[in-house]
Copies of this chain bind each other. A is one copy, B any other.
Amino acid sequence: MAVQKPTTPKGTRDFSPEEMAKRNYIFNTIRSVYELYGFHCIETPAMEQLSTLMGKYGDEGDKLLFKILNSGDFLAPLSEEELLSRQSARLTGRLSEKGLRYDLTVPFARYVVMHRNDISFPFKRYQIQPVWRADRPQKGRYREFYQCDADVVGSDSLMNEVELLQIIDEVFSRFGVRISIKLNNRKILSGIAQILGQEEHLTEITVAIDKLDKIGLDKVNEELAGNGVPPQAIERLQPILGLQGDNAAKLEQLKRLLAASCDGLKGIEELEYIMDTLACTPLRSQLEIDLSLARGLNYYTGTIIEVKALDVVMGSIAGGGRYDNLTGVFGLPGVSGVGISFGADRIFDVLNQLDLYPASSLSHTQVLFANFGDKETRYCLPLIAALRQAGIRTELYPDAGKLKKQFSYADDHRIALMAIAGENEINEHKIQIKDMQTGRQESLASQQLVARVKELLSV
């Protein structure tokens, strides 16, 4: 067979042991907080029927789905005319009936509908799995990446929002990352458009508000005018764009400004309820009402959440919101959901930049036994077994070779201790322990090994 120079597909990555240890630290932290709050893990297949996926992510999304070529004689069903038309987009559905999941939300909606008779609602699920998008790869954007979602479906209660915000606060507190949580409500955005008489321009108005920080008030007003928002509406928008003060002050001003909009007042009431309830057990994170927050405008119907790291320049590292009709497209109307998602890849970068991985998360081997040959190895085997029995991650260097090579293996793998037994140690029922960090070496009776290793490792 010809020799191949191997590569991974564009936009995908291998993860080395060190990277995996860090990633698993992130996943496990998120997982244990989710479980602490009563969320349960589900998994769905990597592949879904294309009919489940298509039309859920817009035209652009449909293009970015990875499609699986049908097995067997996939060209047979196509007519000559179709083949010669070479209309790839139109013929995709004839050559492929399955695709890779694009996010975890649509498969979850499909899951809820398929299994509704087995689910006791409210259903609190979390899901940590990869998703795939045929996007153009660039820095920080991959074609395969993990999502870490938690959602509650079948409950309209704002207590769900409260708990999801507590989860965000707890997760980043465990990571040691200082964050700001930005909150908005789709109903407030609708209310603004309503009182301006510009409901048809909701998107343009929110997009413009979103740019306030970056381009300044004058440019925002120019952009609004350019998008066909009339001058008197822009005029009325000014006090909203200029909203000042802390969260309570902002809400008070908004209440006056949106007094004529039922939707707007409802949104304010929801935000107030969430803030008041959170005050019973205050968050460690900053919580900031931010009207410019407009993520997921095409599906969120209530609360909108976005999380930014305070000490690193980075896009949002978590987010979420409430959507009112998760499962309607699959034939189950009236199921409200609210959820959050952590961006594992960005959190990975944040923890790297801030050097926040705890040493214990890296799960290096703790003790390496040097290998001097069969006789020495057989002397060591019961000692190795005893350490493992005590839960100490222990290796025997598999080959009897140069000690230097064995030591450099220990260095490369950041192994804390080396255990060494030669002729003398065997005769005296002893073992040498070398602390690879300090270089200190000591000799001890073999039956003291487990206790002494635990001391040295402080476990």
Contacts and interface: CB of A to CB of B under 8 A. Distances in A.
Contacts of A98: 9
Interface string A92-108: 10011110100000000
Nearest to A109: B6
Interface in A352-385: 363, 365, 368, 371, 374, 377-378, 381-382, 384-385
Given A35-B363, A68-B67, A68-B69, A4 B329 contact: yes
B398 A122 contact: yes
A207 B24 CA distance: 43
Nearest to A55: B1
Contacts of A439: none
Contacts of A141: none
A159 B36 contact: no
A427 to B, nearest CB: 18
A277 B365 CA distance: 23
Interface in A118-173: 118, 120, 122, 124-125, 130, 132, 134, 143-144, 152, 155-157, 159-160, 163, 166, 170
A400 B156 CA distance: 11
A442 interface: no
Interface stretch (A37-45, A178-186, A232-240): A37-45
Contacts of A399: 122, 155-157, 159
A399 B123 CA distance: 12
Identical copies in the complex? 2
Interface string A384-410: 110010011111101110000000110
Contacts of A396: 159, 163
A281 interface: yes
Interface in A1-19: 1, 3-9, 12-17
State the main secondary structure of chain A at its contact with B: mixed
Contact of A398 (B4, B15, B118, B157): B157
A157 B398 CA distance: 6
Contact of A69 (B67, B157, B330): B67
Contacts of A42: 14-17, 20
Given A3-B330, A331-B5, A399-B157, A377 B120 contact: no
A43 B14 contact: yes
Nearest to A366: B38
A36 B92 contact: no
Interface in A319-370: 329-331, 363, 365, 368
Most chain B beta-carbon contacts within 10 A, residue among A24, A49, A87, A409:
A49
A147 to B, nearest CB: 14
B277 A49 contact: no
A6 B328 CA distance: 12
A214 interface: no
A52 B4 contact: yes
A436 interface: no
Nearest to A106: B6
A445 B75 CA distance: 73
A28 to B, nearest CB: 10
What are the nearest 5 A-B pairs in CB distance? A38-B395, A17-B40, A12-B45, A120-B412, A157-B398
Given A36-B391, A38-B394, 16 more contacts: A6-B49, A6-B110, A15-B42, A15-B43, A20-B40, A36-B394, A38-B365, A68-B68, A68-B69, A68-B100, A69-B69, A69-B92, A83-B83, A157-B398, A159-B371, A160-B398
5 contacts: A8-B48, A20-B42, A21-B41, A35-B393, A78-B86
